[in-house]
Amino acid sequence: MNENSKVNSTEVAIIKSTSPSKLITTGIETLGGISAFIEKGDQVFIKINLRVPYGFPVNVNFEALRDLIILCKSAGASQIFIGSFPDHGMKTQSIVNILGIASYIENVGAKLLFLEDQTKYPLIDHAIKDKIVKIPEIILKSDKLIFFNQVSVDPLFKITLSLLNSYSLVPNRYQRIEKVIRNGKDYLLLDQYKQDLISNILDIYTIKKPDLVINDMFYFLEGAGPFVYRDSNLISPGLGIIGRDAIAVDLITQKLLGIDLSSSDILIEARNRKLGITDISNITITGESVENINLKIKFSAYKLEDINIKNTTIKAGRICSGCFKEAYNLLNFIKTYMTKDLKYIKNQCFLAGENPPEPKFLDNIIIFGECAINSTKNHEFRKIQTTTDRNYVENVKGKIKKDYKSQKTTKVKVKTNKRIIEIPGCPPNLYESLYSIQKYYKKSQTPNLSFYNNLIKTFYEKASNPKIKTGD
């Protein structure tokens, strides 16, 4: 049990409701009421998702967030802060401009923090094992931490667990996974990227464990996710899973979706590190019972080749989770937002991973990531052979005189295939990939992509205000 807790950390509430805000209020009530979590005078930090605003429900349910803030105020919280480091180093301001969330939050008595502004929200060092991670002081110094997590499907972890939400408590640069090859270990075979990612996520989680965890599944994206893609399907399970122990809450959330502990590598590692409750028999469930929730959902594609895109062939070699996740998002972006462009691009081939199969055509080959680039240096598609045939006169002579033999031999020229887009990176960055693709095809062939790239530029506005020190 956490210090000062009035709620046993083994309790998890499963709430079903027809109203998103009732999920929260009923769930908290079931666990003993908000005063079991928040005390008078507490400074509260509510960690939400601040992802790229590609549709709903990618971020947070405003209605439910409003009611959570009101509940915290009713318990006597002195200050309530809301925030997160947005994905891909985007600015909070860019997302706020689209969602209009800052004034909404202010009107209900809380404050949205622009955490990347280090002048206002300085980062302080936190030592984890042999590394230093910086985290905003305001989060560390808050009396209570709440994870308010929107659950959707996820290409790497099946669903977006609250543990994944906790990762963006720190700036993007501390979330990046560097490729470190261990002696005698096969990086790709062991999917070392994912192992290192899981280890990093759990390290961050241990910096400051939450006092209250809400997995919001009132709405849920199935099929493709976690963003709204063409293959996404919005369903409304009307569920909330609430408790104090993030691992227990995630375990029960997975269980409701038919995912066992044995197929969740992040929860297995959490169990190995004894970070929370991973034995379901030690969890006291209140509200609905797991058995009564019969939820069948469609998970994301787990093979890149299973993403069907018009005029596009996808071929993957040995690949780790790093390239898989970025390629998954890039391919879904192409499928969702480049529908017109895909009519102009008559044929393209996307290669990822080490030693992908040879493409059938020599035109418009996208090579994604260092492994694909380096391992295909000598592949056949890198060269184009052109032959200089016998000229017209020789051909005519040959037809008139049946026994005429030309003195001219056919010349074969080998040239470098330039109809290739190499996208470097380990793994490549989604937005840099989009720029490379647009640069190759030009605006006339990719009107959709040109539009989105201009929009993305405005999201980033890197160093738009040079006076502000950023923590990306």
d(CA 90, CA 272): 34
Nearer Cβ to ligand SF4 (178/291)? 178
Residue (88 or 134) nearer to ligand SF4, CB:
88
The position carrying tokens 């005519």 is 396
Nearer to ligand SF4, 319 or 449 (CB): 319
Nearer to ligand SF4 among residue 359 and residue 471 (C-beta): 359
Interface characters, 187-226, with ligand SF4 (x: CB under 6 A): x-----x---------------------------------
Taking the C-alpha atoms of residue 222 and residue 236, their distance in angstroms, rounded to an integer, is 10
> Interface with ligand SF4 includes 12 (CB under 6 A)?
no
- With CB under 6 A as the contact rule, which of the stretches 23-31, 287-295, 298-306, 319-327 interacts with ligand SF4? 319-327
Q: How far is the CB of 363 from ligand SF4 (least distance, A)?
A: 24
Looking at 319, 365, 423, 430, which residue binds ligand SF4 (CB under 6 A)? 319
Identify any residues that bridge with 215 across adjacent strands, giving them in sequence order: 149, 241
Residues 432-453, buried b or exposed e (16+ Cβ, 10 A)? ebbebbbebbeeebbebbbebb
Minimal distance in Å, beta carbon 330 to ligand SF4? 12
At closest approach, how far in Å is the CB of 79 from ligand SF4?
41
377 Cβ neighbours under 8 A, 6+ residues apart: none
Annotate each residue in 358-387 with x if it binds ligand SF4 (CB under 6 A) or - if it does not, as one string: -----------xxx----------------
Residues contacting ligand SF4: total by CB under 6 A? 13
Least separation in angstroms between CB 270 and ligand SF4: 24
The interface region with ligand SF4, picked from 124-132, 158-166, 196-204, 320-328 by CB under 6 A, is: 320-328
Interaction between residue 323 and ligand SF4 (CB under 6 A): yes
Stretch that binds ligand SF4, among 48-56, 220-228, 317-325, 453-461 (CB under 6 A): 317-325
Task: Output the smallest distance, CB 177 to ligand SF4, in A.
Answer: 8
Beta carbon of residue 89, minimum distance to ligand SF4 (angstroms, whole number):
18
Chain-centroid distance, C-alpha 236: 21
CA 117, CA 471: separation in Å to the nearest integer? 7
Distance CA 361, CA 359 (A): 6
Minimum gap (Å) between residue 200 Cβ and ligand SF4: 15
Whichever of 193 and 333 has its CB closer to ligand SF4, that residue is: 193
Complex with ligand SF4: residue 179 or 273, whichever CB lies closer: 179
**Residues from 174 through 193 that contact ligand SF4 (CB under 6 A):** 179, 187, 193
User: What is the closest distance, in whole angstroms, from the C-beta atom of residue 178 to ligand SF4 in the complex?
Assistant: 10
Residue choice 280, 309, 426, 468 for contact with ligand SF4 (CB under 6 A): 426
Residue in the block written with tokens 């090859």: 181
Which position among 322, 356, 359, 471 is part of the footprint of ligand SF4 (CB under 6 A)?
322
Q: Which is nearer to ligand SF4, 67 or 154 (CB)?
A: 154
Interface residues toward ligand SF4, by CB under 6 A? 179, 187, 193, 319-320, 322-323, 353, 369-371, 426-427
